[in-house]
Amino acid sequence: TVDSGLSIEGLFGTKITTFKLGQGDIQINPSLERYVYGSTVQLMAVPNDGYYLKNWAQAVTGDVSPMEYKVEAANPTVMAFFVPATGKATLTLLVDGPGKVEVEPQKAVYSVGETVALNAVPNSSAKFVGYSGGVEETQSSITLTLDENKTVTATFEGDWDDQGETGTTIEWTQLEYLLDGNLNEKGSQASALSGENHAFVTGKDSVGKGVEFNGQETSVRIPKDVFSGLDQATVVLWVKLDEPVKRDAPYEWQTLFRLEGDTVGNSSVMVGAGALRIFVTEYEADSGEKDYVPASGKWLQVALQLAEDKMRVFVDGEFVRGGKLNTPASLGTYAVVLGRFGVGNGNYALDGLLDGVTIYAEALSESKLKELYEAGKSESGGTVEPEPSVG
């Protein structure tokens, strides 16, 4: 039995991808590599001279700029559509720093000569510096006559307010669970793993340092709130089964994954009397399903791809089982348990080693899973059969 702790490393936050049609560009304030769940950003359309923002699309809708957007999805895409502003005047408003600008009236395009009121509002820990570009002014509230196309930048300085929602969902792209001998989380607000034994692993830098599952009481639970707010996810792990097809009774199987919750009917991915199977869940099988019987004593990369309407299993980068769920189940409504079905007598419990568990906030493609599999073999010295040293 393993009795140890965990730490978490990863890239916590999500990228915002921008895409434009027509003559113009998109800027984001603040400009960061990644954004945490619950934070608010300003999307700013920057049309070329003689063009204006017709509308936003994808993650946001509307036709005003700047547009406030609250980050509540993984890897959102924002699109801006620019068209010619024939006979009209445009106001391109840019915000630099921790603040925002209220515009009255706020439109995509204006009549030539129309008057617009601007009011700069700094965040609580910031101050307004001034306007520049189409107008030079340090007063926060001004009026502006649009006798031509104008670009105005409002500059703020100071600290950004803490915008993340601590204690709830943290948006991320990848979580790796590592063993460090205690129950502390490192550099993260993500939920800890829990289980009968708080056991976890070294990451894939050395497959051999795995957690030993004894076929009785060892398991690890990934709580449902880790997946909250996601549309798709992929759980990838490395496993070495001592004897995947060894038990006499047909009801005695070994659990790789169990989806634990009413919305999924406690579905499981198991191996036992023959090929790998998905139990309880009713689904429309995707083309390409195959009977796969795992070998004993060999490291396998197993991936579980999840979405509201889909559950698919891959082994060594190749699709094995799964398809469209007959009854959709949103991510965040169930936990994912590794290694055990949950009964007390050892039935359905994993007998072997587990290592290198990584959770991705997307449905990884088969080609990407194959790439990760090949990289994993390389990191373990060109083989997926290293000598294990129990963590």
Instruction: Give the model confidence (pLDDT) of 142-167 as tens digits.
Output: 999 999 999 999 999 987 754 433 22
Domain-by-domain residue ranges, the chain?
17-158, 193-379
Q: What is the CA radius of gyration of the chain?
A: 26
More confident residue, 94 or 178: 94
Q: Which residues, including other chains, have CB under 8 Å from residue 368's CB and lie 6 or more apart? A: none
Helical residues (DSSP H) of the chain, grouped into ranges: 366-379
- What does the pLDDT read at residue 388? 31
* Topology of the domain comprising 193-379: Jelly Rolls (2.60.120)
Q: pTM for the whole thing? A: 0.49
- DSSP three-state, residue 384: coil
How far apart, in whole angstroms, are the C-alpha atoms of residue 185 and residue 8? 6
Burial class for 109, CB neighbours closer than 10 Å (0-12, 13-18, 19+): buried
Instruction: Give the model confidence (pLDDT) of 172-181 as tens digits.
Output: 455 554 433 3
Instruction: Give the model confidence (pLDDT) of 9-66 as tens digits.
Output: 333 467 888 888 889 999 999 888 778 777 889 999 999 989 999 999 888 988 999 9
Q: Write out the two tokens for 203.
A: 């990451």
Q: What proportions of the chain, in percent to the nearest 5, are helix, strand and coil?
A: 5, 45, 50
Q: Write out the two tokens for 202.
A: 């070294």
- What does the pLDDT read at residue 67? 92
> What band does 102 get if pLDDT is binned at 50, 70 and 90?
very high
How far apart, in whole angstroms, are the C-alpha atoms of residue 131 and residue 122? 13
Per-residue pLDDT averaged across 189-201, rounded?
A: 34
Per-residue pLDDT averaged across 379-389, rounded?
A: 38
Instruction: Give the model confidence (pLDDT) of 113-140 as tens digits.
Output: 999 999 999 988 889 999 999 899 999 9
Nearest-CA neighbor of 100 among 26, 160, 57? Answer: 160
> What band does 212 get if pLDDT is binned at 50, 70 and 90?
low
